């Protein structure tokens, strides 16, 4: 029989079950669990932070090869002359249209007055020739009609004179026939008187008749000569009338010539008008004005004799400043026009807002004086840079502290 006072023995399995919870919740186990949790959390945080950092860094492109840029407006003289007044100082703000420099206008005022006088003279000549055209046309028509009728009158006069000459010639022939008869009668009566067969009175009558017939012949011959002269005169008048008519037939050509002179006079008026306009422009050019609003840098002083094309000032339009950023070609993969950009200004520490306006059509070296030539056999691949134009949002450079040439760092956001 077993001893009743003996204590019961504890099984070994039960003892190991009681020691396991003590090891599971020991300080070393708890520290190990906390370390694992911390490592896990840290790894998750690092992964998330890395992903966020990668996402942020890949969301924009940045470069420090950038500067503020602007179009500089050179102001030059358009005429030659003596500078009598300079109305601006260096770095002074001017508005568009302000008078910057004044050139002595005296010579150009004289030239303008002369051009005005020349134009007035040309206009008067054109007006007088324009009035002459209808007068010449009317005179030509009337002269043509008059000379035509003069030819008819001259021909009629010639015909009449020729008829008178023929009548005078017939009278001469009749008078000569009568004179022959009278001379024959006188000769017969002379013989009869000498033989005293007729009276002296009859002989005297025959003598008087003979003398009268001789005078009649002379008178008829004189009339014939006068008629011949009349014929010659009328023929001369016919010739003159014919010549006048031929000259009158040149009237249309004279009218055309007058019209051509009128056209030449009108062209001369237009030329004088152009010269007058040029003289007015030259007088206007004696005042050199600002093409845009901006700050002025001047090289002109009073007393300087300037020539056309000589630069006098430079206007810097600070309201039109933009940023030229030279990005690497590998940074342009996702860059597009219109993307937002932050511009960090080195001089002031400010950050200005803008957007991508355009991307250059070629890399920067191609615009240089001596562009690279890669076909020489000594090719080395170099990452090229492409100019990107970034314009500021309205009002960002209101204080005009961003000046052309200043260094900036733009960040272009790709998303």
Q: How far apart are CA 316 and CA 70, in angstroms?
A: 8
Task: Decide: 95 and 293 in contact? Cβ < 8 Å.
Answer: yes
List the strands of the sheet with 99-103, edge to edge.
Answer: 287-289, 99-103, 81-86, 305-306
Q: Are 180 and 260 in contact (CB under 8 A)?
A: no
Nearest Cα residue to 282 out of 120, 119, 115, 112: 112
Per-residue pLDDT reduced to its tens digit, 263-321:
888 888 999 999 999 999 999 999 999 999 999 999 999 999 999 999 999 999 999 99
* Residues in the chain with pLDDT values less than 50: 1-19
3-state DSSP call for residue 395?
coil
CB of 327 within 8 A of CB of 335?
A: yes
Entry pTM: 0.60
CA–CA dist 335, 356 (Å, integer): 9
Contact (CB, 8 A) for 88 and 289: no
Structure-token pair, residue 234: 């009328």
Strands (E), 53-162: 60-62, 66-69, 73-76, 81-86, 93-94, 99-103
Alpha-carbon torsion (223, 228, 229, 235), positive or negative? positive
pLDDT at 2: 38
Can you list the domains of the chain with their CATH numbers?
61-70+318-413 (2.40.30.170), 74-105+286-314 (2.40.50.100), 108-277 (1.10.287)
Counting every residue, how long is the chain? 415
Per-residue confidence (pLDDT) for residue 173, from 0 to 100: 79
């Amino acid at each position: 029989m077993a001893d009743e006072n003996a204590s019961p023995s504890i099984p070994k399995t039960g003892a190991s079950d009681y020691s396991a919870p003590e090891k599971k919740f020991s300080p070393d186990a708890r520290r190990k669990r906390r370390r694992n949790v911390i490592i896990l959390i840290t790894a998750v945080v690092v992964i998330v932070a890395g992903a966020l950092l990668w996402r942020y860094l890949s969301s924009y492109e940045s470069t420090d090869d950038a500067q503020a840029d602007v179009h500089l407006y050179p102001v030059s003289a358009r005429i030659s002359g003596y500078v009598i007044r300079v109305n601006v100082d260096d770095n002074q703000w001017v508005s568009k249209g302000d008078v910057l420099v004044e050139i002595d206008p005296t010579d150009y005022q004289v030239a303008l007055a002369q051009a005005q006088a020349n134009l007035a003279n040309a206009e008067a000549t054109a007006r007088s020739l324009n009035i002459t055209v209808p007068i010449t046309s009317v005179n030509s028509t009337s002269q043509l009609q008059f000379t035509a009728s003069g030819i008819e009158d001259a021909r009629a006069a010639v015909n009449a004179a020729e008829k008178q000459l023929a009548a005078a010639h017939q009278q001469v022939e009749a008078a000569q026939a009568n004179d022959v008869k009278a001379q024959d009668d006188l000769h017969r009566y002379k013989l009869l008187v000498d033989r005293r067969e007729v009276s002296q009175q009859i002989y005297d009558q025959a003598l008087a008749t003979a003398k009268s017939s001789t005078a009649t012949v002379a008178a008829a011959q004189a009339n014939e000569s006068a008629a011949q002269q009349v014929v010659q005169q009328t023929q001369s008048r016919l010739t003159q009338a014919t010549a006048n008519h031929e000259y009158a037939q040149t009237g249309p050509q004279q009218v055309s010539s007058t019209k051509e002179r009128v056209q030449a006079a009108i062209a001369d008026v237009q030329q004088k008008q152009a010269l007058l306009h040029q003289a007015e422009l030259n007088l206007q050019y004696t005042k050199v004005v600002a093409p845009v609003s901006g700050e002025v840098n001047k090289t002109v002083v009073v007393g300087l004799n300037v020539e056309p094309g000589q630069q006098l000032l430079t206007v810097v339009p600070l309201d039109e400043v933009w940023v030229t950023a030279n990005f690497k070609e590998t940074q342009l993969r996702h860059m597009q026009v219109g993307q937002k950009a932050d511009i960090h200004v080195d001089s002031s520490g400010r950050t200005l807002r803008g957007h991508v306006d355009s991307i250059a059509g070629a890399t920067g070296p191609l615009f240089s004086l001596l562009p690279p030539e890669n076909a020489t056999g000594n090719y080395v691949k170099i990452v090229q840079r492409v100019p990107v134009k970034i314009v500021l949002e309205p009002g960002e450079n209101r204080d005009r502290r961003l000046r052309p040439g200043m260094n900036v760092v733009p960040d272009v956001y790709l998303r």
